[in-house]
Amino acid sequence: ETNLVTSAIRQFSSDQIRRTVLYTSCEPCAMCVGKMYWAGIRSVVYALSVEELTALAGGRFLIPCRELFARAADPVRVVGPLLLDEAREVHLGFWPSKST
């Protein structure tokens, strides 16, 4: 997500980025939330929740993106989790050591 946002910053105006909806296969982590917010993205849609991703891939730094965006000065629309079965399948294939 951070690479995508960096690319968008280089290609689009601030107004275009503000009107962008970022779609992602899993709930953004704290680092990605910061990048999205400071770039000006105000709408995020994700499939797999941070809890689901952690169950598949491991991890210990679990902060739902809604909690982080809620502390921001400007509101960010967050939609998700969505399409859980489809998202889980994608990640099961990527994190085989945790999913077997």
The ranges assigned to domains in the chain are 2-99
3-55 pLDDT per residue, tens: 999 999 999 999 999 999 999 988 999 999 999 999 999 999 999 998 888 77
User: Full-prediction pTM beyond 0.85?
Assistant: no
Cβ within 8 Å of residue 96, ≥6 positions away: none
Closest alpha carbon to 77 in 31, 49, 37, 29: 37
